[in-house]
Homo-oligomer: A and B are copies of this chain.
Amino acid sequence: ELKSDADAKKKKPAYKLNGRIHLDNWNFLDSDPGVNELETGDPNDDPEDRWDFRRIRLTWTGTVPQNMLYRIQLDFNNPSSAEMKDVYLGFNNLPHNQTLLIGNQKRPIGLDHLNSSRHNVFAERPLAVEAFNEDARRLGVCMYGYNDAESVHWRYGAFLLENISTDGRYRGDYDEAGLYGRLSGSPWYDEISGGRGYWHWGLSGSVNTTDGDGTIDNDQNQNEARFRTRPLARSDSRWWNTNRILGSEGYQELGLESMLNIGALQITGEYINTWVQRDPAGGFNGSNLHFQGGYLFASYFLTGEYIPLNRTSGTIDRVKPFENFFVVDRCRGGTGKGWGALCVALRGDYLDLSDSDIRGGRGYGITAGLNWYWTAYSKIQCNYVVGEIENGGQGLDDVPLAAGIGGDFSILGFRYMIDF
């Protein structure tokens, strides 16, 4: 043991590189004037169709002897203005299978945000998950662990609320921060089939303090009580949007999650509540607020594969097609072919960000998805979204609105994905 310690001390740091390319094509097929206004500010100017590199991401992960680790993850989807994703250092192999990370990392609210974008069933995340945990990552310190049987996973930590993904810096004399925790379990997990059957549950919550003074006082803090999300697709603007809630002193969140997998079929749902306390300010009446939302989806592999569960992190893992998609000339003549895997899915989303004099939008979306897995590392996602939003528009203005705006919309999107 002493010898192995000495060996470890001599060892050098190590790293591995991973990356992903996600290329998107979004077509806004239909949109009511109110929706046009939410997107462009002009009822007669509809959302533009687009091709986006959604993610061009490089990740360097490594270890430092004896039991430290680090990650630097950068996204160059907009090369002239890169973003940081996970950037942290920490300790692993702590007692009770625990890891402690310090730096930019995901806040533990909502299953779908903790899943990697490489593995999620739908192209964009659910309304409620994105609204109540926008962009997920914040600067903080967080502990991750699981029990020896791997049936229970926990993570809890403290996070600053300002999103520093583009500038890497938090400024302000007021520490807008929150305590976050998530407990999840997989009481049923069919070891014999390699995990083709399981039930996962999760419970998460947060308590946050925000700077009620906002931009009124001298410090640089802006009020971080703001909940917003795009319409299950990559629009320019966030159609559901409470704007920065003037006078907000704090908020609390509570999330429930359930994921049932029976072979090729998965049924997953989440529900998140958020309560905001505020004082009267800027013409707003100051009454407390309650926002809420959730989703339910079913997915099914026509080709028989399944979505694996990573029990030690309480998230889904990489799908492995039975057969890759390929067309190659054989050395001894003829053409070899494989067809990949095919998955269909249907999701219903609901989100209510309108309460009292805040018109953040209330509405729903239905997403039909078709995923064609070329390999375990590449696929096409096709999503068709129809939805409706009403009583929205707060994101366009800083004062109470006389009336909300809204309307119907339908969107068709494709994503070409590879990762390594």
What is the total number of residues of chain A having a CB less than 8 Å from a CB of chain B?
88
Query: What's the least CB distance linking A333 to chain B, in Å?
Result: 11
Q: With A1-B330, A80-B167, A102-B416 as known contacts, state yes or no: A21 contacts B87, CB within 8 Å.
A: yes
CB of A68 within 8 A of chain B?
yes
Query: Quick one: copies of this chain in the complex?
Result: 3
CB of A67 within 8 A of chain B?
yes
Query: What's the least CB distance linking A49 to chain B, in Å?
Result: 5
A326–B66 contact, CB under 8 A? yes
Neighbour of A328 across the interface among B15, B88, B95, B168, CB < 8 A: B95
B21–A95 contact, CB under 8 A? no
Query: What's the least CB distance linking A111 to chain B, in Å?
Result: 26
B420–A64 contact, CB under 8 A? yes
A170–B51 contact, CB under 8 A? yes
Q: With A79-B83, A93-B328 as known contacts, state yes or no: A53 contacts B172, CB within 8 Å.
A: no
- 8 residue pairs of the A-B complex, CB under 8 angstroms, read A9-B324, A13-B377, A21-B103, A49-B173, A51-B169, A65-B377, A67-B326, A89-B418
User: Chain A: residues with CB nearer than 8 A to chain B?
Assistant: 1, 5, 8-9, 13-15, 17, 19, 21, 23, 44-46, 48-53, 56, 58, 60, 62, 64-68, 70, 72, 74, 76-84, 87-89, 91, 93-96, 102-104, 139, 160, 164-173, 175, 218-220, 324, 326-332, 335-336, 338, 374-375, 377-378, 416-420
Further pairs besides A48-B171, A78-B167: 10, Cβ < 8 Å: A1-B336, A5-B338, A13-B420, A52-B170, A53-B84, A67-B327, A76-B82, A94-B327, A94-B328, A102-B416
